[in-house]
Amino acid sequence: VTAAGQGIGRATALAFAAAGATVIATDVDEDKVRGIASDTIRTAKLDVLHASDIDRAARDAGAIDILFNCAGFVHQGTVLDATDDEWSFAFELNCRSMFRTMRAFLPGMLERGHGVILNMASVASSVKGVPSRFIYSATKAAVIGMTRSVAADYVTRGVRANCLCPGTVHTPSLDERIAVNAAAAGSVEAARAAFIARQPMGRLGSPEEIAALAVYLASDAAQFITGQAVVIDGGLTL
Ligand code: NAD
């Protein structure tokens, strides 16, 4: 699991362990993952921006059954707000990292004839246009494209690849986005209310709800599901 230090990645590492998996929970900030280390969860530093770190992680881990690419960054803004540097950074973190981890871990899965890849996308992508998510949506649409491509290439070789498309989920980085938007919205509460208002259910999702979907998609119960962008969004796309 990448980006397991907080939010959805952390909840998923814990949920995988609770479901009986042996988990390697990684994050660029190792201090954040240390707290969930246990008999079944090994923690490690992994900066997904660095190819050499990913190759080393693959060597250290050996063959794995499930790869969950969770690391991602939310750029807020329209096409007119976006800079070339922000575009490049977001594609490095949200997309190239997944290309590299899949390239590093797939051979072990193919050798053993089974494996599951889960990539974190979003409803803000090719699934739905969301205001002020120009760069972010472009990266997450690319995640869906990569996932479908890998699913098609390895569908006969025991490897499934799916991505998760959450709506608005209450995580530490969402709180940061709320803080950034507070000035324009008038207050932190007004900024929070605007995020909640995007959700027809009238509430934010929890990291645990997304983790439960990840566990299902990784499990044998989902063996007939591959190449899908699975939406979990409290009705945002209704
Ligand atoms: P978050 O943004 O709160 O935490 C992100 C974690 O990623 C942190 O622990 C951070 O240390 C780690 N990280 C940052 N750069 C890294 C790097 N280079 N290498 C490894 N780890 C790195 O977590 P979140 O909000 O749960 O988001 C996780 C994923 O879910 C992201 O891909 C995000 O785009 C996606 N997502 C989130 C929401 C939401 O509403 N929160 C909705 C849809 C999709």
153 contact partners, CB below 8 Å, separation of at least 6: none
Q: What is the pLDDT along the chain (238 residues), one digit of tens a residue?
A: 999 999 999 999 999 999 999 999 999 999 999 999 999 999 999 999 999 999 999 999 999 999 999 999 999 999 999 999 999 999 999 999 999 999 999 999 999 999 999 999 999 999 999 999 999 999 999 999 999 999 999 999 999 999 999 999 999 999 999 999 999 999 999 999 999 998 999 999 999 999 999 999 999 999 999 999 999 999 999 9
35 lines ligand 1 (CB under 6 A): no
Nearest CA to 231 out of 159, 158, 130 is that of 130
pLDDT at 196: 95
* Atom number, ligand 1, closest to the C-alpha of residue 168: 40
192 lines ligand 1 (CB under 6 A): no
Nearest C-alpha to atom 41 of ligand 1 is from which residue?
A: 169
196 lines ligand 1 (CB under 6 A): no
Nearest C-alpha to atom 19 of ligand 1 is from which residue?
A: 47
> Which member of 68, 136, 154, 195 is catalytic?
136
Query: Which of 2, 27, 91 maximizes ligand 1 atoms within 8 Å of its Cβ, making it the mutation to test the pocket?
Result: 27
233 lines ligand 1 (CB under 6 A): no
136 in catalytic set: yes
166 lines ligand 1 (CB under 6 A): yes
pTM of the model: 0.97
* 108 within 8 A of 64, measured Cβ to Cβ: yes
pLDDT at 112: 97
71 lines ligand 1 (CB under 6 A): yes
pLDDT at 28: 98
pLDDT at 188: 95
* Atom number, ligand 1, closest to the C-alpha of residue 48: 19
Measured in angstroms, how far is the CA atom of residue 70 from the centroid of ligand 1? Answer: 6
Half-sphere exposure of 26 (CA within 13 A, CB side): 23
CA-based Rg of the chain, rounded to a whole angstrom?
Answer: 17
